Amino acid sequence: MDSCRALLVDAFSTDSHAGNPAGVIPDADGLSDTQQQAIAAELSASETAFITESAVAERQLRYFSPTSEVDLCGHATIAAHAYLDSTDEIAAGTHTIETNVGVIEITIDDDGTVWMVQQSPTVNPIPLGYNDAADALGIDDAALRDIGDDLPIAVASTGLPFIMIPVNFLEHISNVNPDAAAIDTLARSYDAAGVYIFSFDTLESGSTLHARAFVPTLGITEDPVTGTAAGACTAYLDTFNAFDAFPSTIRCEQGHFCDRPGYIRTQLLQSEQQEDGSDTPPTQRRVRVGGHAVITLDGTITIPEIEDTDILEP
């Protein structure tokens, strides 16, 4: 049987066995959709990035969770480019990737930080009651009502939609007892990938917020550190004027209650930085997400010999 190189890379961390592990397949040209899905299931990371050639960008990335293809994944993008940087396949500077949501700009700093410009944001409040949200999370609804007057529950996306639910205190973030089935139902009813809860009450003084993400629609009970959700949350905070003066950089801590602590940095692109050169209103400012990553496993994986006839139809 043929094999290909396969890596596990811990994104949004400078330490191994922390942050969010992503699979990376550096040379995925020629792999079928079914083979990519099978490899992602075998690696069992929340997402695996498959790197192939592209006609419209420097390379193409496709992302698969263990159960399905995902249009965009922040931590797998950071992981893939940290790997490419570590092997000198790309240098510090600006690069482009083709994804299912379009061509995305990537910047690599001299210190190895990988920045990913996300898609134009959408932020829309939804009529999700505090009781229903609290029941799905296994939390007292007072923890949501306490902050909801200023920051409503909404679906936000910078490439992958999440239901944004602000929580008043860190102790309530830590004590949630999520009902995966109920969260799956909530997410699907609002065409979201999952639920992202956050609080301005943090473990570390240098952090802006603490968050947790639940993504059962993609087969992920809890995602340790979620770049696409942090980007969407930054657009959400911008839309609802969460700060008197918006921070130049937001530092989001996540994963501590999964024993996978990680840190995401996000920044708003100012109007003059928009790629199309337009004078974009502040509530539509795009977001870039950044972080480090560490290779924890580098080896080979057997490419499955899967024929269409091997697939059982339900």
Alpha helices in 154-290 (DSSP H): 170-174, 180-189, 227-239
Q: Could you give the CA distance from residue 114 to residue 119 in angstroms, rounded to a whole number?
A: 16
pLDDT at 270: 76
Assign 274 to helix, strand or coil: coil
What CA–CA distances, in Å, run from 213 to 22, 40, 220?
16, 20, 9
Q: Could you give the CA distance from residue 34 to residue 36 in angstroms, rounded to a whole number?
A: 5
**Angle 227-239/74-86 helices, nearest 10 degrees?**
120
What domains can be seen in the chain, in order of their start residue? 3-113+295-310 (3.10.310.10), 122-289 (3.10.310.10)
Task: Check whether 205 has a pLDDT greater than 60.
Answer: yes
Triad 47, 183, 257: Cα angle to 5°: 60
Is 162 exposed, middle or buried (CB count within 10 Å of its CB: 0-12, 13-18, 19+)? buried
Residue 283 CB: number of other CB atoms within 10 A?
Answer: 12
Least confident segment among 98-107, 218-227, 245-254, 265-274? 265-274
C-alpha count within 13 angstroms, C-beta hemisphere, residue 13: 25
Task: Check whether 162 has a pLDDT greater than 80.
Answer: yes
Task: Check whether 81 has a pLDDT greater than 60.
Answer: yes
How confident is the prediction for the chain on average, in pLDDT? 92
User: Phi and psi of 67, rounded to 5°?
Assistant: -120, -20
Task: Check whether 104 has a pLDDT greater than 70.
Answer: yes
Sequence-distant (6+) residues with CB within 8 A of 307 are none
Tokens of 285: 């400012």
Cβ distance 126 to 154 under 8 Å? yes
DSSP string, 49-91: EEEE--SSSSEEEEEE-SSSEES--HHHHHHHHHHHHHTTSS-
Cβ distance 11 to 80 under 8 Å? no
H-helix or E-strand spanning residue 38: helix 33-43
Which band of pLDDT confidence, cut at 50, 70 and 90, is reported for residue 148?
confident
Q: Could you give the CA distance from residue 8 to residue 95 in angstroms, rounded to a whole number?
A: 22
Which band of pLDDT confidence, cut at 50, 70 and 90, is reported for residue 146?
confident
pLDDT at 307: 65
Least confident segment among 49-53, 99-103, 118-122, 147-151? 147-151
Q: What share of the chain has pLDDT > 70, as a percent?
A: 93
Mean pLDDT over 90-115 rounds to 95
Alpha helices in 87-137 (DSSP H): 130-137
pLDDT at 1: 60
pLDDT at 281: 52
Task: Check whether 271 has a pLDDT greater than 70.
Answer: no
Triad 256, 65, 8: Cα angle to 5°: 65
> How far does CA 215 lie from the centroid of its chain?
10
Mean pLDDT over 168-187 rounds to 96
